[in-house]
Amino acid sequence: MKTSIGVGLIGTGYMGKCHALAWNGIKAVFGDGPKPVLVHLAEVNAEIARKKADEFGFDKSTGDWRELIGDPAVEVVSVTTPNAFHAEMAIAALEAGKHVWCEKPMAVALADAERMAAAAKAASRVAVLGYNYIQNPLIRQIGQILADDTIGTVNHVRLEMDEDFMADPEALFYWKSEASSGYGALDDFGVHPLSLLQVLFGRPTKVFAHLSKPYADRPTREGTRRAVETFDIASVLFELGEGVSGVMALDRSAWGRKGRIVLQIFGSKGTIVFDQERFNELQLYVTSDRPTELGFRTILAAPQHAPYDRFIPAPGHGLGFNDLKIIECHELLKRIAGQDARVIDFDIGLGIERTVHAMAQSHHEQRWINIA
């Protein structure tokens, strides 16, 4: 295996910093794999780029992301810019022979996502999306519980994802309420629970969605009100094939919910419940316990749930949100090294995008849409 890998980072916002923390921490956490060399950082202008490069430990900096992509020392590029730029940057990086680690969602338009997947295939480079929630050791444990047949055959699944950053009706209108940003909660949020569905069960086979707007309009800076064009709430029925039914409820205007992603999985021998707001915990009910002692068990993340052990040797001490990104980064490097890895690559990611678009279609046509 290579002993080092050259890293480029485009964007330094929420997710850009998260990538930077992962690149800085991964070697100390995992010990194995190539050492990331932080080569180049790009931002909207040279000044911000330099400042952030110093903070994040990158050597070179630039106000022109194409310069970074042209840098031969860069082998893998983190794309963490606003969604509208993902396609252009990821495709350019792939065409330049770089591996790509791009934040979700792939792109606003399905056609862009398709071009990205095609570019990855053509370039024969690793192209992975930033679906960090699938990296939680307890989500892996859910997969293991399912594989072990501990809860039997799954027959019903419920998903919820709720936050409250759009909950204030008097907050100023901004781009998330513009149709150009997408459908609303459906693509903004839906891809996350769908990524969990993907790693646990694969894609839904048919979907029926209903989108709604909690607030018809919002105030503008000019003192007027502007009609909201996106749907902050999405409610979806789906099937997973072979008669497994499901419900997915999304709301980005749900007061009090901060990072809630609830997963309820019902099987013929037990039930699993998970909530991202307490993502170091997992609830498990199995029918094999003594009748007087049946109950949901609260399992705390612990070293036996790899790779928790790479972070902390003691159980129940708690991983953080940023730690999930470090695990994702490690899986990316495993994939680059040609090993089995738990990633949502551009191909699988395109499937998620297609599912989201099918949901939107089902809303507009008010009918079930089958997914090939």
Q: Which of residues 10-49 bind a second copy (CB under 8 A)?
A: 14, 17-18, 20-21, 24-25, 27-29, 31, 35
Which residues in the 68-107 window bind a second copy by CB under 8 A?
none
Q: Which stretch binds a second copy (CB under 8 A): 67-75, 104-112, 197-205, 246-254?
A: 246-254
Q: Is 225 in the site for a second copy (CB under 8 A)?
A: no
Nearest to 159 by CA among 366, 346, 359, 372: 359
Residue 365 phi, psi (nearest 5): -95, -5
Nearer to a second copy, 66 or 260 (CB): 260
Q: Which stretch binds a second copy (CB under 8 A): 102-110, 219-227, 285-293, 344-352?
A: 285-293
* DSSP symbols for 8-32: EEE--SHHHHHHHHHHHHHHHHH--
Q: Is 294 in the site for a second copy (CB under 8 A)?
A: yes
Number of amino acids touching a second copy (CB under 8 A): 100
Q: Is 241 in the site for a second copy (CB under 8 A)?
A: no
Q: Is 4 in the site for a second copy (CB under 8 A)?
A: no
Q: Is 285 in the site for a second copy (CB under 8 A)?
A: yes
Q: Is 184 in the site for a second copy (CB under 8 A)?
A: no
Q: Which residue has the tokens 């709604």?
A: 212
Q: Which stretch binds a second copy (CB under 8 A): 122-130, 156-164, 186-194, 330-338?
A: 156-164
Contact letters for a second copy, residues 304-343 (x by CB under 8 A): xx-----xxxxxxxxxxxxx--------------------
Q: Which of 73, 269, 361, 364 binds a second copy (CB under 8 A)?
A: 269
**DSSP class of residue 184?**
B
Which residues in the 191-210 window bind a second copy by CB under 8 A?
208, 210
Q: Which of 121, 227, 255, 361 binds a second copy (CB under 8 A)?
A: 255
Q: Which of 109, 237, 341, 371 binds a second copy (CB under 8 A)?
A: 237
Q: Cβ(151)–Cβ(269) under 8 Å?
A: yes
Q: Cβ(131)–Cβ(195) under 8 Å?
A: yes
**DSSP class of residue 364?**
H
Q: How large is the C-alpha radius of gyration of the chain?
A: 21
* The token pair that represents 315 in the structure block: 């159980």
Cα–Cα distances in angstroms (integers) from residue 335 to residues 1, 89, 250, 342, 344, in the given order: 12, 21, 31, 8, 11
| Cα 288 from chain centroid (whole Å) | 34
Q: Which of 165, 217, 219, 342 binds a second copy (CB under 8 A)?
A: 165
* DSSP symbols for 302-319: -TTSTTHHHH-SSTTS--
Q: Is 296 in the site for a second copy (CB under 8 A)?
A: yes
Nearer to a second copy, 34 or 96 (CB): 34
CB of residue 296 vs a second copy: minimum separation in angstroms? 5
Q: Which of 72, 224, 292, 372 binds a second copy (CB under 8 A)?
A: 292
Cα angle value 33/36/40 (rounded, 5°):
155
CA atoms within 13 A on the CB side of 212: 9
* The token pair that represents 368 in the structure block: 């079930």
Residue 261 phi, psi (nearest 5): -135, 105
